[in-house]
Structure 1
């Protein structure tokens, strides 16, 4: 898959791009079933809210076939390689769950701030490309983005280890207010199968979810191979040390896996 010249221009100007319904209902149904099974597991890669509800599951591509296939899917790898002009490797992989009624806030932050401070990433030549597993609506804790804030560079941040179960390098209110006054706030929404990609320095966060509607999103953090991390401090399942370029699977690989799983799913 290739981005159009207009999409590339939009991304560089705004810092983000949304591609609606890039994956089929059958492909998404498989991923949803597999994510639910992963969240039931008790393993170091699965982190939970203070309430016990799942918050994020790291490195699912290393122990689950469906998410492994998604992690090498050309619809995700191609656009990022196109923007970076080189091959990419998987820096981080996670399935974030904004659980119904109990999903907690993600504070305002830049992803590159964490990748630089905690992992020793030299430059913001990595980005998140995400796949919606549930419908993301204005009411169930969508990601909030500050357009054009990626042009502000790497901002000063504080390490918040208390607000939620997930430590994060967060921005202060004055900084966020200034950037919002310049660029506003957008909340990309869409049906399952939509894909959101955004620059590593784009300021973003999300509110809690007090609705009955869960909001699960898969995040692939793809890093340019030349930009591999130098001084990682986090576990390998959070900041990967395998810097080999991703070899994309066939475009129909996930669809074929979904079709093959149908009889088993029906029997269960």
Structure 2
């Protein structure tokens, strides 16, 4: 999938692109059907909501689940990002966020690159998120909220929030959020929230400031997020476990476009269990970064 000049201009201006219904109902169903079993596992890679058994985030499903291993190599997701960076990509992070009905908690205002820089020592913002809706997303089940153009500010000041939710983030304070929203248009477009059917896709810049409210509705809002990084921009520190921030910088090789509905061989290195090495961390800086 190639981005048009108009889409490239929009991405540069607003920091995101939205593709409603890009994946078919059959493709989406094959992914969605695999989620309950993944969420049922009592493993470190399933982070649950604070004070609840509901899964907030499942990490690294592409390492042990065939449907998601194929999604991680899908050309509709990899191609546009590779075109934008002009370079091969590796998978920095893969997660299935479960904003579950009545229980899905907030994701505070943040930039993803802020975390990747502070925790992982990723050199620059040459990394990007691609999100796919596995459920219909509406205004009531905790959709993503973006501040258009906020990526133009580069890395903004953030603090490490270790207490609000079960998953720590480098979050942006309210005063700066108010300034960014006003700069983007205030009540007239200063915050946008793409909604649409399951199978929709969002591509957004790693410095785009975003958040989502809690899900008080009776409808789940499960989404997959691929964090794709230029190979030359790989992380320089392993402060976080490997199931969160991956250490294999091998370029992604795409499968055919019909891979979600047809059989193709994929490697599942953690199918038999996550290795102990995936839990080990280090504050050392990789030698090649010196």
TM-score tier by shorter-chain length is over 0.9
Q: Deviations over 1:24-48 (max 9, x none)?
A: 1011111111011101111111110
1:241 aligns with 2:242: no
In the alignment, structure 1 residue 86 sits paired with structure 2 residue 87? yes
Matched, 1:27 2:9: no
Q: CA deviation at 1:5?
A: 1.0
CA shift digits 1:132-181 (9 cap, x unpaired):
00001011100000000000110111000100000000000000000000
Q: SS state of the match for residue 203, structure 2?
A: strand
Task: Please give the per-residue CA displacement for 1:213-253, whole angstroms capped at 9, x wherever unaligned.
Answer: 00000000000011010112000010000001000001111
Q: Distance in 2 between the 1:35 and 1:5 partners?
A: 36
TM-score (norm 2): 0.88
Deviation per residue, 1:75-134 (Å, 9 max, x gap): 000000011111100000000000000100000000000000000100000011011000
2:283 corresponding residue in structure 1: none
The answer to whether the 8 A contact 1:100-1:213 is kept is yes
Supply the distance in 2 between the matched residues of 1:124 and 1:112 (Cα, whole angstroms): 6
Q: Which residue number corresponds to residue 107 of structure 1?
A: 108
| Equivalent residue number for residue 176 of structure 2 | 175
The within-5 A match list for 1:55-204 is: 55-183=56-184, 184-204=190-210
User: Distance between the aligned counterparts of 1:8 and 1:111, measured in 2?
Assistant: 21
CA distance in 2, matches of 1:124, 1:8: 17
Structure 2 gaps of 5+ residues are: 185-189, 265-290
Give 4+ residue runs of structure 1 displaced > 6 Å after superposition: none
**What is the 5 A alignment of 1:199-214?**
199-214=205-220
User: Which residue of structure 1 aligns with residue 281 of structure 2?
Assistant: none
Q: Does 1:10 align with 2:10?
A: yes
Distance 1:253 1:40 in 2: 25
- Separation in 2, partners of 1:180, 1:13: 15
Count of matched residue positions in the alignment of Structure 1 and Structure 2: 258
Q: Could you tell me whether the CA contact under 8 Å between 1:61 and 1:67 is conserved in 2? A: yes
User: Secondary structure of 2:119's match?
Assistant: helix
Question: Contact between 1:66 and 1:257, CA under 8 Å: does it hold in 2?
Answer: no
Q: State the SS of the aligned residue for 2:207.
A: coil
User: Tell me, what secondary structure is at the counterpart of 2:160?
Assistant: strand
The answer to whether 1:41 aligns with 2:47 is no
Unaligned runs of 5+ in 1: 259-268
DSSP-derived class of the 2:33 partner: helix
CA distance in 2, matches of 1:101, 1:216: 13
Q: Which residue of 1 aligns with 2:187?
A: none
Q: TM-score, normalised by structure 1?
A: 0.95
Deviation of 1:52 after TM superposition, in Å, equals: 1.4
Q: Which residue of 1 is the match for residue 237 of structure 2? A: 231
Give the distance between the partners of 1:96 and 1:77, measured in 2 at CA: 20
Q: Distance in 2 between matches of 1:237 and 1:41?
A: 15
Q: Secondary structure at the match of 1:218?
A: strand
* CA distance in structure 2 between the aligned counterparts of 1:231 and 1:25, rounded to whole angstroms: 39
For the residue of structure 1 that corresponds to 2:261, the secondary structure is: helix
How far is 1:257 from its partner?
A: 4.4
Q: State the Cα RMSD in Å.
A: 0.9
SS at match of 1:103: coil
